A and B are shown apart, each in its own frame.
Chain A
Amino acid sequence: MTAVQPQPPVQDGVEVGTTATTAVKGHSRVPWRFLTGRAAFYLFTLWAAITINFFLPRMMKGDAVDQYLSRNRNVSPEAADALRALLGLDTDKSLLQQYVDYWALLLRGDLGVSLLHGLRPVTEVISQALPWTVGLVGFATVVSFAIGTIGGAVVGWRRGSRLDGLIPVTTFLSTIPYFWLGLLAIALFSVNLGWFPIGKAYGVGMTPQWSAEFIGQVIHHGTLPAATIVIASLGGWMLGMRNMMLTVLDEDYVMVAQAKGMPNRRVLWRYAARNAVLPQIQSFALSIGFIVGGTIVMEMVFSYPGVGKLLLDATNAKDYALMQGVFLVITLSVLVANILADVAYAFLDPRTRQTEA
């Protein structure tokens, strides 16, 4: 009796395929397989990013202490060794051991100390710079996305009208190199007209606090950099949304919506723009990820005390601990942005929910 036993038919008929035999009332089931799959993917990415983050600085020539010694001559060799030990750069440990130590410290939230900033903990240094970047660039990105997408939807809806002229203008503005745009803005509005301060996040002599005066200062200082970011990035959002609108407007369901006697406004937002915005959400999530790291030029031009400037200074000074810390934050923010995009997409596009479950 070694013959192949007849296989019993698979019983979970409801789970197989997409056509449930009985429609499930209420909310759709939680797609656990999809969620665990995504979670595993993100955990792997995180591990890879942190590992690369660990090895990259160690492949560079020279270390932070060498840099430090070249700037501070009267440091004894013993003190230099002590510094190395403090920074985890003592070479007698194996690479593997260093790697394990790195993880141990990381899990305790200890990113080491920054040489460049008088041996203050890296977490502290970064957490001082992060709010400025996230606040300013995040705000500017959201504003630019909102204006560009809404504007693009309207321009796409009224194709062939005079509004079409907006597209080349915004595209032209976004082709100007950013540093040049920033310098022009400073030259015009700060130097000649004197409407805005030349740089920094707040006036000299102020200490950060939750007072009306300080917040006013921050807004005053932030207007110019935020405005230039919006101007530089608006074109992309607008063009993308308009082109998607043109595609979607040719879809049958838009025609059906019009035949149904829907008011134009409803057809525009609920039918056309609602579908056209989906690819925009993808690129928006990507750009959220780059908020933290992608604005070094802006922070240089406006001497803004953000993460980009921190990273640049850290790289120049070979301050590995700080570099690693900044890279880690950037990596994390890109990952978080991707997770948000996944969630938003699943929320906005029912088709992705179904097919990946």
Chain B
Amino acid sequence: MRDALLTVRDFSVTYDVDPPVEAVKDVTLELRRGEILGLAGESGCGKTTLAYGLQRLLKAPAVITGGSVVFHDRSGEDVDVARLDAEQMRRFRWDKISMVFQGAMNALNPVAPIGAQLEDVFEVHRPGMSRAERREAAAELLDIVKVGRQRLRSFPHELSGGMRQRVMIAMALALRPQLMVMDEPTTALDVLVQREILRQISQLRHEFGFTVVFITHDLPLLLEISDRIAIMRAGEIVELDTAERIWTNPQDEYTKTLLSSFPRLTGDRGVVVR
């Protein structure tokens, strides 16, 4: 049994509008070190809010109304995310938990070369590194994700969507975080590029050993890549189990509906016919 990396207890987020919207309701889950946890659910069910909330990245009117998020660092130290002050939170971000965002197209600053945006991370989090070391580290990252170091000086608009997303993955890898939250990293890409990127992610995970929270509404994809899957609906996790058991023996009605709403190639309705 692998040890825990992140413990989330009774985590709730409310959008303080009129009437208030409870986007995440009493979510409790434990993330194990090294696993891929899939987070699935329909649009607007609170997946992204949960992911942003873990790092306290939400902006007003979102309010974290309760619960705790504890990060179990590799060093053995437990970090209660809610207790960190602004400066500690800033250091914690990206260093321990990095993110790959939904909109690959707009996630990069359009007026700065991608090399500079990668080096940015080192400049802020590793002040001890020299300019040359930062440049080399950024070049190496681009090599790792197969974009190639000759792209260091390219601007985001000079890259394709797939390349941009790989740059984002390179950026997320930069500090060798223990957890990478991927918020629909492949939704905007076509299936071939999607496959390529997923393969790359799993390869990188073997190499660097980070844990992944993979958010998507593409359940068949999750069934394929994740160790465990959490099904979310209206802000609540309705079912959390291994991919295999979700596939073979879903307990919740909603999970069953979700599974049966994906067509299958043979023409029968639903992946799982009951």
Interface residues of A (CB under 8 A from B): 18, 23, 25-26, 160, 251-253, 255-263, 266, 270-271, 274-275, 278, 348-351, 354
Contact = CB atoms under 8 A, between A and B. Distances in A.
Contacts of A257: 109
B110 A253 contact: yes
Nearest to A249: B59
A258 to B, nearest CB: 6
Interface stretch (B3-11, B73-81, B154-162, B212-220): B154-162
Interface string B131-157: 000000000000000001011011101
Given A23-B151, A160-B60, A274-B109, A261 B124 contact: yes
B159 to A, nearest CB: 9
Contact of B90 (A261, A270, A351): A261
A251 B157 CA distance: 15
Contact of B92 (A258, A261, A275): A261
Given A25-B150, A260-B121, A351 B110 contact: yes
Interface of B (DSSP majority class): loop
Contact of A259 (B60, B99, B109, B120): B99
Contacts of A278: 111
Contacts of B121: 260-261
B69 to A, nearest CB: 15
B124 A23 contact: no
Contacts of B168: 256
B185 to A, nearest CB: 13
B93 A259 contact: yes
Nearest to A252: B106
Interface of B: 55, 57, 60, 90-95, 98-99, 101-103, 106-113, 120-121, 124-125, 148, 150-151, 153-155, 157-158, 168, 171
B155 A351 contact: yes
A260 B120 contact: yes
Given A266-B124, A351-B157, A261 B151 contact: no
B109 A350 contact: no
Consensus secondary structure, chain A interface: helix
Given A253-B108, A253-B110, A350-B111, A262 B151 contact: no
A262 B148 contact: no
A271 B116 CA distance: 12
Contacts of A260: 93-94, 98, 120-121, 124, 171
A354 B109 contact: no
A23 B101 contact: no
A253 B150 contact: no
B111 A348 contact: yes
Contact of B106 (A251, A262, A350): A251
Enumerate the 4 nearest inter-chain pairs by beta-carbon distance, A residue then B residue, closest first: A261-B93, A252-B106, A23-B150, A350-B155
B101 A255 contact: yes
A252 B157 contact: no
A260 B168 CA distance: 11
B106 A259 contact: no
Contacts of A274: 109, 111-112
B95 A261 contact: yes
B124 A256 contact: no
A257 B92 CA distance: 14
Contact of B101 (A252, A351, A354): A252
Contact of B109 (A261, A263, A275): A275
A278 B111 CA distance: 10
Given A252-B106, A259-B93, A263-B90, 4 more contacts: A253-B109, A253-B110, A262-B124, A350-B157
A84 B171 CA distance: 75
Contact of A271 (B92, B109, B150): B109
Given A23-B148, A25-B150, A256-B101, A262 B120 contact: yes
A260 B155 CA distance: 19
A329 B108 CA distance: 43
